Amino acid sequence: MISHEQLEKIRDQLLIQLETLEEPQKSQLQSQIESMNDQELEEFLIKNNMINIEKEGSNSSNKAECIFCSIVQGKIPSYKLTENKEAIAILEINPISEGHTIIVPKMHNSQDEIPSSAFSLAKKVAEKIKKTLKPKKVDLITGEMFNHGIINVLPVYESEHLGMQRKKATEDKLKDLQSKLEFKEKPVKPKREKPKEEVPISKLPKAPHIKA
């Protein structure tokens, strides 16, 4: 059974995905998804192979396909700002404050196993937000959903915190923020070792002459 919070997150992502469709199919599907209760939405997702519910007795601890893994794999669209080898940064579609961003590790691990490179990416995103949106500060807060650890990059303009009410951002607002905040991660070049200089044969020490 998927929790109500998880289903609402999936519902929001589905509604974003429908923006690519043409009328009247778009409006019909939007109306259908918005009117579904939790059970109907879960059945719809299973029927359309959008989540995978494991059978009882399975060894898998991840009984519903993780929405963050789906975002990483490109199955669900998102407003990506940047990425590195181990994590991506996406705008929160139900933000607490302007510029609220989520760092999603590409590997499905708990919040205790978030890689250090994800925190490095979070700090770079925080710096970009500070320079562009001018909040008082930017908090980095770890969390977990579908057993997938994430980092919230939360701009604080007054006294915002994760316990506050969220508001759904419009598509236009998200696109505008994406254009302002996206950047490319510079690849880290491996350090080259200086080749050892070959000593000319003429400069090698001569072996002592041994008399017979």
- Domains of the chain with bracketed CATH: 1-65 (no CATH), 66-183 (3.30.428.10)
Looking at mean pLDDT, say which of 3-7, 92-96, 161-165, 188-192 comes out highest. 92-96
Decide if pLDDT at 212 tops 50.
no
Entry pTM: 0.64
pLDDT of residue 201: 56
Please say whether the beta carbons of 183 and 89 come within 8 A. no
pLDDT in tens, 63-118: 456 788 989 998 888 999 999 999 999 999 989 999 999 999 999 999 999 999 99
The strand order across the sheet containing 80-83 reads: 80-83, 87-91, 101-105, 148-156, 137-145
Higher pLDDT, 146 or 99: 99
Residues 10-60 have pLDDT tens digits of 778 777 766 656 676 677 778 888 888 888 887 777 666 565 554 434 444
